[in-house]
Chain A
Amino acid sequence: MAGSPLETTSSKGKLLAFFAQVPLLGWLFGALTAVLAEQFLGSQLVDLLGLPKIPVLFGCMIVLKKPLLVPGTLAYVLCIYLLPLAIVARMAAPWWNKIAGYLYRLSPSVAVIVHLVLMYAILHIWSGISAYRLLTVKLTMIAVMVTLSLNVINGYMGEFSCSHPGFLALGAYTASVFTLLFFANDKIFGTALLPASLGPFLFPLALILGGLVAALGALAIAVPSFRTRGDYLAIISLAFMFIVKSMIENLEIVGGPRGLSSQPNYVNLPTVFIWTVLCVWIINNFVRSTVGKALNAVRDDEMAADAMTVNTRRTKVVAFLFAAFWAGIAGGLFAHVLRYVNPSTFGIQKLAEVLAMVYFGGLNSVYGSVVGAVSLSMLSEALRPLELFKWIIIPLLLILVMIFRPTGLIAFTEFDVKGLIRPKGKE
């Protein structure tokens, strides 16, 4: 009988082995071909297949709204994405391996930069097709930053912190106040204090300021709460989140519950991309450094870590502030993508969203955070046409992940950049 369990596993294994020799560089070039194909041939193919428009998120929305268009959408996804990806990546794998090897020997940092440039080019072309895609990509990258920073606390440090929406709010409001005060004419802060042309250059400063304020807020939790462990930190941090929210609601100077709007439009794709790469790179280095290892030691057994000369208190505070800093930066970006912030955005719902991304993707893992944030953000967009049922499917998915992989999809894995860009297969 064809399709017996044994046979399927072996054919799956074969397929995996068949593609295992393709280096990351190959996949990236495959994806680049795919997005270029979409840009130049997409609309013709759409006409040919009778689709209304280029499918935005791999056709999920079209399929869910108009089941009659399933074959056309499948054919589109196959022609535009899967075929170029498979052909370019697999067929030319030996060449990609050669190029990857050459780049790697030249200097790993050059290789990394080449990969990043390719990645940006792919995102740029892909999101250039529609403004909706662009918005989704931006918000997804911000979600990656938030998830990663929370993973430092909940995964690497092993504490359960609920204050992330509070840090996001602090960053969002600080950055918004900074840009509105200096570079925009609005009704709360009056005319701009500095020429608007300076804005984009000083915007990173606004973000960093937002991050620092968030870190300051984190210090306010860290001092009293790190005397305690476990549930107590969860409660204190939850309280912090509510304090920040009510504080902003009662601060008329920043608009109270009405929120702040009309932030200048500084956050384009390169800005978000650069900050996300920076965030992933720095956090990855942080968790792989001695502080990161000390953090893991504290998580596993604080007493033992203390006995092994780890300054546990300092380690915990540093990690907590560090995570809050990145959450603040993500908050600042978020406020400038939406160009509107109000306190009710940063409530329990946001917390649930971020926690879901962390635990879905996997604890103690940079990979996991990226996977969790990207998959949940994309899923919640792709399932949009289902309305109420979306909120049944996504939690169900989370429960399934918790049953079959209790620590998340890709937990406790090191994110080894060098291993990633290395040529694959026989050397």
Chain B
Amino acid sequence: MKKSSIIVVTLLAVALIVSPSVWAKQKLIKIGINAPLTGDIPKVGEGTKYAAQMWLEDIKAAGGLEVGGKKYPVELVIEDNESKAESAVKANTKMITEDEVLAIVGPQASKQAVPAGDVANNYKTPMISPWSTNPDTTKNRPYVFRGCFLDPFQGPVLANFITKEFGFSKAAVLYDVASDYPKGLAEFFKQAWEKIHGPGSVVAFESFTTKDADFSSQLTKIIRSGAQVLFVPQYYNEVALIVQQAHELGWNKPIVGSDSWGSAETVKLCGKDCYGLFFSTHYAAAGATGATKAFIDRYKKKYGYVPDDVAALTWDSLRIVQQAIQSCGKITGNIEKDRLCVRDALAKIKEFDGITGKMTFTEDGDPIKCAVIVKISDKGEYEFYKSVCP
């Protein structure tokens, strides 16, 4: 017993001497990042994390975030949501109640953003999901915003683009029935297409289930249906398989994709098969100018690859949060007051000049912004082709 009590006393003494000097209390601005660092889509999490770290570097280089003429140090709280709904809820609760973050950026995928948004709204903490396109994420939630356009906008954009560009009237769709985003977008596309070309103009509406790797039966049906174009609103890992198998089965007509193609991995996995294909997205990396180019060059230099749309949207979301905090005027230190102030400032943002285009927030927390049609060049780069505005 004696020995252990000596250890206890020493430990206490050390603790008392060391700790307070390390943690002098000061007003600190904390921003939470809720990202899928592990799980199904780790590349998305990585892009989020890297973009956030780049933003933090800028702030640190400027000596802190200037609010009302005073500079405050900024800290990022990066939490892993394991690409699971329950974990995203836990991560948000932890960041809000434990770390006392001023605002949250993330989660990216809708299946985490919808439940996590509920938590943020309940605790009255502003949250921006950079990438979630599901309408439910922000609906009736004054504290939740998003950094991208919605599926009901993207579907018609693509339908119009294909009609105008190629003059086709028969389309086929292949999508994952078990995943929220592809299924929603496939349906919005079908609606828009049939509105233009009449009922029955989507000649094949084929589905599969997450983690399927063989699409030959669906693709054979699509080829037989006489469709002129194939729409595939899938994530990068499935795009490569679908495009390659379609070409093997003799499909030589265009394949069009959605913003989920925007990852750097798409071309890496797909190779030459994807060259010359189109998809709609938030920004185009190749041929970018101004601030967008500066961001891409810096990211590439630092992490070795061209940033995808998730990174760009995360960057924009963080800058929006930054602008909202700055336009707040002052940090009172009362976290509830500050959060409310940031929320109000976010809702008032007009014509924000982001690297993914100009944004103005609506009452629901959704931005009005343009979509970009990208062509995958012969070098595998994402080239700007056209901009479509609402």
Contacts and interface: CB of A to CB of B under 8 A. Distances in A.
A79 B37 CA distance: 36
A338 B19 contact: no
Given A339-B118, A340-B85, A387-B37, A249 B178 contact: yes
B389 interface: no
Given A75-B12, A130-B97, A136-B90, A340 B177 contact: no
Interface string B1-37: 0000000100110111011111100000000000001
Given A130-B97, A131-B97, A345-B85, A261 B210 contact: no
Contacts of B356: none
Nearest to B134: A258
Given A78-B8, A78-B11, A72 B18 contact: yes
B114 A259 contact: yes
B183 A256 contact: yes
A114 B111 CA distance: 43
Interface stretch (A50-58, A198-206, A304-312, A405-413): A50-58
A139 B90 contact: yes
B179 A338 contact: no
Nearest to A345: B85
A387 B23 contact: no
Contacts of A139: 86, 90
Given A262-B118, A339-B118, A391-B38, A52 B23 contact: yes
Given A384-B80, A388-B38, A340 B118 contact: yes
A351 to B, nearest CB: 13
Contacts of B366: none
B84 to A, nearest CB: 7
A72 B19 contact: yes
Interface in A212-268: 245-246, 249-250, 256-259, 261-262
A262 B110 CA distance: 15
Contacts of A136: 90
A16 interface: no
A262 B180 CA distance: 17
Interface in A73-95: 74-75, 78-79
Contacts of A48: 16
Nearest to B18: A71
Contact of A245 (B14, B98, B178, B183): B178
Interface residues of A: mostly helix, strand, loop or mixed? Answer: helix
Given A78-B11, A344-B111, A344-B178, A50 B19 contact: yes
Contact of A257 (B80, B93, B183): B183
A381 interface: yes
A258 B84 contact: no
A135 B15 contact: no
A69 interface: yes
B331 to A, nearest CB: 17
A62 B8 CA distance: 20
A130 B98 contact: yes
Nearest to B183: A257
A340 B19 contact: no
A69 B16 CA distance: 11
Q: Size class of A's contact patch?
A: 35 or more
Interface string A322-356: 00000000000010001110111100010000000
A262 B210 CA distance: 26
B16 A338 contact: no
Nearest to B98: A132
B115 A340 contact: yes
B276 interface: no
B134 to A, nearest CB: 7
Given A338-B85, A344-B111, A349-B84, A257 B178 contact: yes
A340 B114 contact: yes
Contact of B180 (A72, A135, A342, A388): A342
A342 B89 contact: no
Contacts of B91: 384
A71 B14 contact: yes
A72 B15 CA distance: 5
Interface string A184-211: 0000000000000000000000000000
A68 B89 CA distance: 29
A49 interface: yes
A288 to B, nearest CB: 33
Nearest to A341: B85
A200 B210 CA distance: 37
A61 B90 CA distance: 14
B139 to A, nearest CB: 8
B364 to A, nearest CB: 14
Contacts, number: 127
A262 B209 CA distance: 26
B179 A344 contact: yes
Nearest to A69: B19
A79 B100 CA distance: 25
A241 to B, nearest CB: 13
Nearest to A391: B38
Interface string B94-105: 101110100000
A342 B178 CA distance: 10
B15 A387 contact: no
Contacts of A71: 11, 14-15, 18-19
B210 A344 contact: yes
Contacts of A78: 8, 11-12
Given A68-B22, A339-B118, A381-B90, A56 B98 contact: yes
A53 B98 contact: yes
A374 to B, nearest CB: 16
A140 B94 CA distance: 15
B114 A135 contact: no
B209 to A, nearest CB: 7
Name which of B15, B84, B179 has the most chain A CB atoms within 10 A of its CB.
Answer: B15
A345 B81 CA distance: 13
Contact of B15 (A74, A262, A381): A74
Name which of B16, B100, B134, B180 has the most chain A CB atoms within 10 A of its CB.
Answer: B180
A136 B87 CA distance: 10
Given A48-B16, A130-B97, A257-B183, A246 B209 contact: yes
Given A51-B23, A132-B94, A261 B183 contact: no
A132 B93 CA distance: 5
A339 B115 contact: yes
Interface string A99-121: 00000000000000000000000
A49 B85 contact: no
Name which of B21, B98, B100, B134 has the most chain A CB atoms within 10 A of its CB.
Answer: B98
27 contacts: A49-B16, A50-B22, A51-B19, A53-B100, A68-B18, A71-B11, A74-B15, A75-B15, A75-B16, A130-B98, A131-B96, A245-B178, A246-B209, A257-B177, A257-B183, A258-B110, A258-B114, A258-B180, A259-B180, A261-B118, A261-B136, A338-B85, A340-B114, A344-B210, A345-B86, A349-B84, A387-B80
Given A53-B98, A258-B110, A262-B118, 17 more contacts: A49-B20, A50-B20, A50-B23, A71-B18, A75-B16, A78-B8, A131-B123, A258-B183, A261-B114, A334-B86, A338-B115, A340-B85, A340-B118, A342-B85, A342-B111, A384-B94, A388-B37
Interface of B: 8, 11-12, 14-16, 18-23, 37-38, 79-80, 84-86, 89-91, 93-94, 96-98, 100, 110-111, 114-115, 118, 123, 134, 136, 177-180, 183-184, 209-210
- Which 3 pairs between the two chains have the least Cβ-Cβ distance? A50-B19, A340-B115, A71-B15
